Structure 1
Amino acid sequence: MKVSGENNGNLPSPADARHKLERRRRRRKLCCLLCLLILALLILAAVVLALTVFKVRDPTMELVSTTVSGVSPNISLPAPRLELNVTLDLAVRVRNRNYAAFAHASGGHTRLLYRGAQVGKARVEPGRIPPRGTELLRLSLEVEVDQLAADLGSLLADAASGAVAFDAETRLPGRVTLLGFIKHHAVATSDCHVVIGVPDLGVQSQECALKTKL
């Protein structure tokens, strides 16, 4: 016969029950803390990747060299007529600083300007620059005589001074694709001012301003 109030050996005592409850609570708190820690680490990793690997950087353009070939401007008389055969050959290096390839489409081109008026144009062939790679663009710009003759007075004055200045504007639209489906568009431009000596057709100076639009 069992005395009333005695603890049944098959049932936990109140102290044991409280101890088990505290252990369950500690385990739940520990699990919550671990989940929060893992979540924080994942967020931190995502931020680091967004600021490094997945950040789309501007492709840069650099004018490596400019060479001029042809014949110096000549005015034939008695009827004033401009005789000219000049070609500018530009070497432009495009550097892709991204961890994904940069593909430029068929819209790339270079315009040759004289005093703001277009006197020549060259098309940039489509291409693909590998991650962290470079591509050397070779552009040949032939001066259009008819367009240049439209400002014959200024051309004669410049030629008499011994130098003729041109502006070369290069535009290169492209796209960077991350993870195969995240696409970012960019347009890299390079505006160069080139001064050509007359009559030797040597390049006296070249200055470029680079710009990229994302």
Structure 2
Amino acid sequence: MKVSGENNGHLPSPTDARHKLERRRRRRKLCCLLCLLILALLIIAAVVLALTVFKVRDPTMELVSTTVSGVSPNISLSSLRVEFNITLDLAVRVRNRNYASFAHASGGHTQLLYRGAEVGKARVEPGRIPARGTELLRLALEVEVDQLATDLGSLLADAASGAVAFDAETRMPGRVTLLGFIKHHAVATSDCHVVIGVPDLSVQSQECAMKTKL
């Protein structure tokens, strides 16, 4: 004889069903919380990497040595003739402050400007600056006399004052490599202001500002 309301051993009671449903709900809530926690950790890690490893820092430039060669200025006020054939041989150390290497390919160049007008140009040889490393660049900037002669009055005035100022603009296209496999195209640029003494052709001062654009 079976007692009314007794479990027959095959069908779960309403109480057991509710308990199983509550356990499922708790497990789902726990899984959701774990997923949210992992997502929050990934976001925090991405923010930290963006502010440290992946943050682009402009490289720095240091003038190691300078050699000025060519013809010393020969200025004739009576005939308004000037000879100013010079070549600036610069050894520049570029320091890469990023956690990514920078390989600059062919196409890099430096423009030499006098009072905003181009008076010379030099090619930057391909190379590679390792992550957190340095590279020594050698630039040979030749001054074009014909271009200087177009602004003869200003050149004579600067030479008479004992110093001639030039601006050197450098552009180096290349590729940045992060973590050994993430690659992005980048362009490193620098603007340098160089003051050369007259008549000894010594470099009196040099200031550079560099930037990197991804």
Q: Deviation of residue 79 (structure 1)?
A: 5.7
Judge which range, 190-199 or 16-25, deviates more. 16-25
3-state SS in 2 of match to 1:44: helix
**TM-score, length-scaled by structure 2:** 0.82
CA deviations on 1:12-47 (whole Å, 9 max, x unpaired) are 443333333322222222222222222222333233
Judge which range, 78-87 or 25-34, deviates more. 78-87
Paired with 1:192 and 1:128, the residues of 2 have a C-alpha distance of: 21
| Matched residues, number | 214
Paired with 2:13 and 2:129, the residues of 1 have a C-alpha distance of: 74
CA contact (8 A) 1:60 1:212 kept: no
Paired with 2:41 and 2:193, the residues of 1 have a C-alpha distance of: 50
Paired with 2:179 and 2:200, the residues of 1 have a C-alpha distance of: 52
* C-alpha distance 3-198 of structure 1, shift in aligned 2 (>3 A): closer
CA deviations on 1:114-160 (whole Å, 9 max, x unpaired) are 22222221100111212222111111112222222333333233222
Judge which range, 61-70 or 32-41, deviates more. 61-70
* C-alpha distance 50-203 of structure 1, shift in aligned 2 (>3 A): closer
Paired with 2:3 and 2:161, the residues of 1 have a C-alpha distance of: 125
Paired with 2:9 and 2:166, the residues of 1 have a C-alpha distance of: 102
Percent sequence identity over matched residues? 92
CA deviations on 1:50-97 (whole Å, 9 max, x unpaired) are 333334433343444433233321146986543344221222222223
Judge which range, 82-91 or 163-172, deviates more. 82-91
3-state SS in 2 of match to 1:72: coil
Paired with 2:161 and 2:69, the residues of 1 have a C-alpha distance of: 20
**TM-score, length-scaled by structure 1:** 0.82
Paired with 1:114 and 1:46, the residues of 2 have a C-alpha distance of: 46
* C-alpha distance 29-129 of structure 1, shift in aligned 2 (>3 A): same
* C-alpha distance 5-74 of structure 1, shift in aligned 2 (>3 A): closer
RMSD of equivalent CA atoms? 2.7
Query: What are the ranges of 5 or more consecutive residues in structure 2 without an aligned counterpart?
Result: none
Paired with 2:101 and 2:90, the residues of 1 have a C-alpha distance of: 24
CA deviations on 1:87-112 (whole Å, 9 max, x unpaired) are 21222222223322212122211112
Q: Deviation of residue 199 (structure 1)?
A: 1.6
CA deviations on 1:175-200 (whole Å, 9 max, x unpaired) are 21346665433332222222222222
Query: What are the ranges of 5 or more consecutive residues in structure 1 without an aligned counterpart?
Result: none
